[in-house]
Structure 1
Amino acid sequence: MLHPPQLKIPATYMRGGTSKGVFFRLQDLPANAQQPGPARDALLLRVIGSPDPYGKQIDGMGAATSSTSKTVIVSTSTRPDHDVDYLFGQVSIDSPFVDWSGNCGNLSAAVGAFAISGGMVDPAHIPQDGVATLRIWQANIGKTIIAHVAVAAGAVQETGDFELDGVTFPAAEVQLEFMDPAAEAEGEGGGAMFPTGNVVDKLEIPGLGMFRATMITAGIPTIFIDAASLGYTGTELQEAINGDPKALAAFEAIRAYGALRMGLIRNIDEAAKRQHTPKVAFVAPPASYLASSGKAVAAGDVDLLVRALSMGKLHHAMMGTAAVAIGTAAAIPGTLVNLAAGGGDRTAVRFGHPSGTLRVGAEAELVDGEWRVSKAIMSRSARVLMEGWVRVPQTG
């Protein structure tokens, strides 16, 4: 029996922030995968090596974590005021689906560099030396990201001395502005940023009890809970959570019932097919701890502590979109994030995460009784790890 040869698709493997993913130009995908649908999903699942019942993604480009099971599709923008369109797919590790419900803030840092190197940006927008300012349309959530990408001799500058906790080596800084990051909420109150219309709610979880929660849609839908109410200090590292099946089940229950309360799903069963959003995070006041690298983080180095889960596991650092949610919530008096940071008015916050610290800023104002955020700002870095072709067995 003859078997067809593998498909050979141009692709780039990139790190963006504390994530890695396989990047494609839309035009390079097979014709049946250039449109949303089962063919595209099947292709990306096979590229990453999912679904894998062993949970290792050995036969693909994934590395068996939520931070590395990612794909990106970029194209020249169809919008006159944007440079490129960016679509993110979070690939499930052990299940046959790709979650398109949200953005990846970390990989957002790599989109501008990929687009410039891939010839998708008007050369007039790229200086010979300096900083290229690109307007990126984030197609998953319908929002604009402005990326400031260093350029040297007409090409993307990837090396530099910017250090990011959670990433071993320094690189060139990429500043990101997430414009108007709050999604239009669909929950019971329909607030533009807070789905229930409240900055703090009581969230009842069957079998677990009642928790105070801040549920916000900025950056990515996120449910914030006080660490103490869960029996945690906020200094936990991955092993403390990911090695505890009971804890993971509790966090998934909070995520599912929070998603229902936020109007993101219609019934609890839908949460299993929407793993990427919402995120769940727990917050605590500043405290000293040792980061996963062994680096000492002093209580005086941070405004608060945050630990967040992604795709059912505690993240090794912090998701970029969750950092936007943290910065936004910190800027709004009365949220659990703001209170953990000491309360009051804030335009920026530095928080401690398992790998170290991160600073994020946000500009919030109260307009006609509703909180609005014009933009959230943070810095990441990005670089190409490998480029060429990814090979995928043909199916059908």
Structure 2
Amino acid sequence: MSFVPQVKIPATYIRGGTSKGVFFNLTDLPERCQVPGEPRDNMLLRVIGSPDPYGKQTDGMGGATSSTSKTVILAKSEEVDHDVDYLFGQVAIDKAFVDWSGNCGNLTAAVGSFAISSGLVDSARIPENGICTVRIWQKNISKTIVAHVPITNGEVQETGDFELDGVTFPAAEVQVDFVAPVDPSEAMFPTGNLVDDLEVPGIGNFKATMITAGIPTIFLNADEIGYQGTELQDAINNDEAALTRFETIRAYGAVKMGLIKDISEAAGRQHTPKVAFVSPAQDYVSSSGKSITAGEIDLHVRALSMGKLHHAMMGTAAVAIGTASAIPGTLVSLAAGVDVDGDAPAAVTFGHPSGTLKVGAEAEVVNAAWTVKKVSMSRSARVLMEGWVRIPGDCF
């Protein structure tokens, strides 16, 4: 019996924010994988090592968590006034499924540096020393993102002293601006309400803020679902009953947000929406053993990604947090202590399992509806390995 040899595809393995992913230049992919479809999905599944019934992704580049089962495809942008097109694929671990329904905010921090190093940014726009502003078109959600990438001696600077909770070592700071994450023509609050009553048969009725900013997100109050809001991963990820409840809540919320028509469709849309819970600021100890006092933060947020509590915070969910905190009356702003009739802060610092994160948002009312002009946060990125990935030539 004969077997086809492996093929090798140029790729770069990069940490962006608190995530890791395999980055590709579109033109480096096999020709049939340069367009959407089954061959592309199959290629990415094999690269990452999915589907894996063992849940380990041992035979691939994935790290067996939602934060490390990710792929990115970049190309020179076809959009006016943009440098690079950014397409994100969230690869399921135990299913043969690639979710293209949303963005990864953490890996966005690495898009600018990869684009510069790969020649996707016009050399005339790259300073010898300083900050290179990379204009990113996020193709999954058709939004503009601007990454401010430090440059030293004409090359991307990756080392530095910026510390990001959830990442072990310091690196260079990369500011990321999510420009108009909600178009004025879109409904930031799909139901039309800042807070809804979300009825979940067999589980309960909960107050919920359902927002589409950065990524569709369902925010709940921690105490209503039996938590304090300071929980770390093991408290939830080792509780199968809790994970099932969260997934059911997510499914019913997705229907109410108009993202799916029936809860049965939620299994095919694992990446979106996210479900998160909030609570007022209180002392806690992060997963690294760091003690954080209530005075250092404005509120707590815990979010689930691909069915498990995230070890830190998804970048896109941070956009939703920043936006919701800037709008008085949402569960997020109420948890942060913002008066319903008061002025929201320009930025909030929230606690998550790995530590804290500060995010700022500029929100305003336009034509009697809330919209947000920009959400900003700082992340970091570092190339871990570059070269080729190898996969069997008949897998795609």
User: Normalising to structure 2: TM-score of the pair?
Assistant: 0.98
Residue deviations 1:2-61, cap 9 Å, x none?
A: 211111000000000000000000000000000000000000000000000000000000
Q: Deviations over 1:71-101 (max 9, x none)?
A: 0000000112100000000000000010000
Who is 2:277 aligned against?
282
Contact 2:178 2:375 in 1 (8 A): yes
Equivalent position of 1:66 in the other structure:
66
Equivalent residue number for residue 395 of structure 1? 394
CA distance in 1, matches of 2:329, 2:381: 35
Aligned with 1:281: secondary structure? strand
Counterpart position of 1:136: 136
Taking the TM superposition and a 5 Å limit, the aligned residue runs for 1:341-380 are: 341-343=336-338, 344=342, 345-380=344-379
Q: Tell me, what secondary structure is at the counterpart of 1:241? A: helix
Q: Give the equivalent residue in structure 2 for 1:308.
A: 303
Q: Work out the CA distance in 2 between the residues paired with 1:203 and 1:369.
A: 24
Q: Say if 2:85 is the partner of 1:90.
A: no
Please name the residue that 2:256 is paired with: 261
Check conservation: 1:183, 1:218, Cα contact below 8 A.
no
* Alpha-carbon distance in structure 2 between the residues aligned to 1:6 and 1:12: 18
2:81 corresponds to: 81
Q: Is the contact made by 2:184 and 2:366 (CA closer than 8 Å) also made in structure 1?
A: no
The Cα of 1:288 is off from its aligned counterpart by 0.4
Name the CA distance, whole Å, in 2 between partners of 1:252 and 1:13: 30
Deviations 1:190-231 (A, max 9, x none): x62000010000000010111000000000000000000011
- Secondary structure (helix, strand or coil) at the match of 1:179 reads strand
Say whether the 8 Å CA contact 2:147–2:177 is kept in structure 1.
yes
The amino acid of 1:278's aligned partner reads P
Classify the secondary structure of the residue corresponding to 1:50. Answer: coil
CA–CA distance in structure 1, aligned partners of residues 264 and 7 of structure 2: 36
Cα distance in 2 for partners of 1:355, 1:252 equals 23
State the 1:184 CA deviation.
Answer: 7.8
> Structure 2 matches for 1:1-396, cutoff 5 A?
1-182=1-182, 192-343=187-338, 344=342, 345-395=344-394
Unaligned runs of 5+ residues in structure 1 are 186-190
Unaligned runs of 5+ in 2: none
Query: Helix, strand or coil for the counterpart of 1:180?
Result: strand
Counterpart secondary structure, 1:221: strand
Q: Take 2:384 and 2:163, find their aligned partners in 1: how far apart are those partners? A: 17
For 2:303, give the aligned amino acid.
A
Letter in 2 for 1:213: A
1:330 is displaced (CA, Å) by: 0.1
The 3-state SS of whatever aligns with 1:249 is: helix
- Cα deviation, residue 366, structure 1: 1.1
Name the CA distance, whole Å, in 1 between partners of 2:227 and 2:254: 22
Name the SS of the counterpart of 2:265 in structure 1. Answer: helix
Hey, what's the Cα distance between the residues in 2 that align with 1:40 and 1:119?
Answer: 23
Equivalences, count: 391
Conserved 8 A contact 2:165-2:355? yes
Partner deviation per Cα, 1:230-252 (whole Å, 9 max, x = no partner): 11011000000001011101100
Distance 1:117 1:293, change over 3 A: same
Question: Could you tell me how far apart the structure 1 residues matched to 2:182 and 2:328 are?
Answer: 16
State the alpha-carbon separation in 1 of the partners of residues 37 and 263 from structure 2.
24
Q: 1:390 is matched by which residue type in structure 2?
A: V
Provide the secondary structure at the position in 1 that maps to 2:141.
Answer: coil
Looking at structure 2, the residues matched to 181 and 121 of structure 1 have their Cα atoms a distance apart, in angstroms, of 23
1:81 is paired with a residue whose SS is coil
CA distance in 2, matches of 1:214, 1:184: 19
| Cα displacement (A) at 1:183 | 6.0
Question: What is the alpha-carbon distance in structure 2 between the residues aligned to residue 57 and residue 248 of structure 1?
Answer: 21
CA shift for structure 1 position 119: 1.0
Aligned equivalents of 1:285 and 1:94: distance in 2?
35
Letter matched to residue 364 of structure 2: E
User: CA RMSD for the aligned pairs?
Assistant: 1.0
Contact 2:50 2:92 in 1 (8 A): yes
**1:188 maps to what in 2?**
none
Q: Distance in 1 between matches of 2:37 and 2:271?
A: 18
1:147-196 deviation line (CA, Å, top 9, x unaligned) = 000001110000000000000000000000001112689xxxxx620000
Q: Which amino acid aligns with 1:182?
A: V
Q: Tell me, yes or no, if the aligned pair for 1:331 and 1:338 is still in contact at 8 Å.
A: yes
Q: Does the 8 A contact of 2:184 with 2:371 survive in 1?
A: no
